[in-house]
Structure 1
């Protein structure tokens, strides 16, 4: 399935294909942002598409990617099981906790949880 623009909980969301290309560079993130400009407010990226460096905060890759979305006023939802990354990093656990308390970057286990989150922000 290609990346597709869907209305989820009344919000336009670019739902990225789990089998799509990896997000391994800031340009890859900018490509998703460009695709979202077709009308999305949220980009839902499967966690498995994110390069492993995203989950290793010392690389600063996550910060670069997340900042791109904030700069373009798009919300980013990382969708999927990241428990093994969380188990390995207290810093990542703190980032996920703080991100999920705010409105720009969310880490959710699945699209149903994203829908719940979107409904809660209305």
Structure 2
């Protein structure tokens, strides 16, 4: 896993680059969060959808809720980037829509829109 930092003014976003799953469970998310905060000094993380376990997108596993709660608790913003159109679940579509209306987690189609959303946040 590699971390690249995108900085605009005082806003810093850690961009995760990996060839494998980085967030497979809650502990993985906590490890990523702690590593990025400690090593990079970032409280905003952008990660490709391909680096997040598919179980995250199955709301019945409760994995998404548990992980996003950890990010909120540790005051870290998260953007997951990718194509979410292939999911047929109305619940997931509603979850993504509601998340995108808030200020803690975003599900966006490309890195540039995710960076814009994260950098707009305090």
The gaps in structure 1 that reach 5 residues or longer are none
Q: TM-score, normalised by structure 1?
A: 0.87
* CA displacement 1:37-79 (0-9 Å, x = unmatched): 1311211111111111101000101111111100100001011
- Look up the SS of the partner of 1:84 in the other structure: coil
Shift of 1:22: 3.1
Structure 2 equivalent of residue 112 of structure 1: 112
The gaps in structure 2 that reach 5 residues or longer are none
Number of equivalenced pairs: 120
Cα gap change, 1:98 to 1:25, in 2 (>3 Å): same
Rounded to whole Å, the distance in 2 between the matches of 1:121 and 1:43 is 12
Structure 2 equivalent of residue 34 of structure 1: 34
- Look up the SS of the partner of 1:81 in the other structure: coil
Shift of 1:121: 4.3
Structure 2 equivalent of residue 47 of structure 1: 49
Rounded to whole Å, the distance in 2 between the matches of 1:102 and 1:71 is 15
CA contact (8 A) 2:21 2:53 kept: no
Shift of 1:9: 7.1
Correspondences of 1:1-122 after superposition (within 5 Å): 2-8=2-8, 11-38=11-38, 39-85=41-87, 88-118=88-118, 120-121=120-121
Q: TM-score, normalised by structure 2?
A: 0.87
Question: Runs of 4 or more off by more than 3 Å in structure 1?
Answer: 118-122
- Cα RMSD of the aligned pairs, angstroms, is 1.9
